[in-house]
Amino acid sequence: MRYKLLGRSGLRVSELCLGTMTFGESWGFGEGKDHSRKVFQAFVDAGGNFIDTANKYTEGASEEFVGEFAEGQRGSLVLATKYSLSTRPDDPNGQGNHRKNMMTAVEHSLKRMRTDYLDLYYVHAWDFMTPVDEVMRGLDDLVRSGKILYVGISDTPAWVVAQANTMAELRGWSRFIGLQIEYSLLERTVERDLTPMARALELGVLAWAPLGGGMLTGKYNAPKSLIHRMDSKRELMNADRMTPQNLAVAAAVKKVAEEAGCSPSQVALAWLRAQPGQIIPVVGARKEAQIKDTLGCLNVTLSPEQLKTLDEVSRVPLGFPHAFLQADFIKQAIHGNTYDKIDNHRA
């Protein structure tokens, strides 16, 4: 395991992050404490120090498990959690990005996780109601109080993140250092604006669902009789991913895995880790064997030809204005005859 400086900070985090949405059984597809502890410890024993949870995951059980498992090794771990999602569905202030929910949520998370500070605190999803300055000032107050050390944001449009970090920079508030987004061979639309923005603003990208909800593990390429024995709730969650295009991508991943002598999961993660910018996959597992297989991706390097094969089968159109600005006649109009003579490190 190697480590990265997360975004524009000095915080050292492992090159994989352990996602703990499956810690707890209240959602119908997770695991109890014993299996979750084995997954957690296998990750830590391999050198992983970056743990991701949220106050909503398994209705708080995930945070409780993480807090219990971290006892005795808290100082060496980077614990990240989130707020924003609904915890009191009938209370107008029981969810959202606003200061009241933020302050209430952080106290509950600290208690569940048995700690007096959080290393990284995320806005879980943008609510399109709370002003950006209220969110950033509230998060900065938490940093100044010592209850959180760094701030991040998840599942939010690029223009909001850019506005927030610019405002924080100008006002001397804490900036987002991490951006959590869905990113995989099955979800590359983030390459239109979110990942270029992250590179420009020096944000670490935490990629959730890096295996496409299991679509890239190879099991969906198995005979239908095997697929139907899967957990019904998990299958239902993946129903919208079961498209001909995604199955074609999964088949290409399986073929590359056979060539490389590794698992499809390791191929999918190796492709993701090879993308430009600071990409850290958020990996989850229900069983110890699954997390050990996942950790094997750290020893897999895909050839340029294999990367090209996966790029081509999974590519999405960038749309306007990106495709327009990349057209040769537009480059000519903007740069004249000089485009190919300039070494552009910002490309």
Q: Tally the domains of the chain.
A: 2
Q: Express each pLDDT in 206-227 by its tens digit.
A: 999 999 999 999 887 765 544 4
What's residue 182's pLDDT? 98
| Residue 228's pLDDT band (cuts 50, 70, 90) | very low
What's residue 57's pLDDT? 97
> Which residues on neighbouring strands pair with residue 72, listed in sequence order?
none
Closest CA to 74 of 114, 38, 109: 114
Q: Express each pLDDT in 38-61 by its tens digit.
A: 999 999 999 999 999 999 999 999
| Residue 347's pLDDT band (cuts 50, 70, 90) | confident
57 carries an active-site annotation: yes
Give yes or no: residues 188 and 152 share one domain.
yes
What's residue 95's pLDDT? 96
Q: How far apart are CA 79 and CA 103, in angstroms?
A: 18
- Mean pLDDT of the region 147-164: 98
Give yes or no: residues 236 and 347 share one domain.
no
- Mean pLDDT of the region 168-178: 98
Give yes or no: residues 323 and 179 share one domain.
no
User: Average pLDDT of the chain?
Assistant: 94
Q: Do strands 17-19 and 50-52 pair parallel, antiparallel, or not at all (unpaired)?
A: parallel
Give yes or no: residues 330 and 229 share one domain.
no
Give yes or no: residues 139 and 153 share one domain.
yes
- Write the burial class of residue 138 (CB in 10 Å: 0-12 exposed, 13-18 middle, 19+ buried): buried
- Mean pLDDT of the region 278-294: 96
Is 24 within 8 Å of 65 (Cβ atoms)?
yes
CATH number for the domain that contains residue 182: 3.20.20.100
Q: What percent of the chain has pLDDT over 70?
A: 95
Give yes or no: residues 92 and 221 share one domain.
yes
128: left (phi over 0), alpha (psi -120 to 50) or beta: left
Quote the DSSP letter at residue 191.
Answer: G
What's residue 238's pLDDT? 67
State which residues form the domain around 145. 3-316
Q: How far is CA 318 from the centre of its chain?
A: 21
Exactly one of 3, 57, 117, 122 is catalytic; which is it? 57
- Mean pLDDT of the region 129-133: 98
Give yes or no: residues 55 and 186 share one domain.
yes
Give yes or no: residues 327 and 243 share one domain.
no
- Mean pLDDT of the region 194-212: 97
Residues 6+ apart with CB under 8 A from 175: 8, 151, 165, 168, 169
Q: Helix, strand or coil for residue 13?
A: strand
Q: Express each pLDDT in 94-104 by its tens digit.
A: 999 999 999 99
What's residue 232's pLDDT? 53
Among the ranges given (77-91, 137-151, 219-233), the one the predictor scored with the smallest mean pLDDT: 219-233
Annotate 199-236 with three-state secondary structure: HHHCCEEEEECCCHHHCCCCHHHCCHHHHCCCCHHHHH
Give yes or no: residues 341 and 218 share one domain.
no
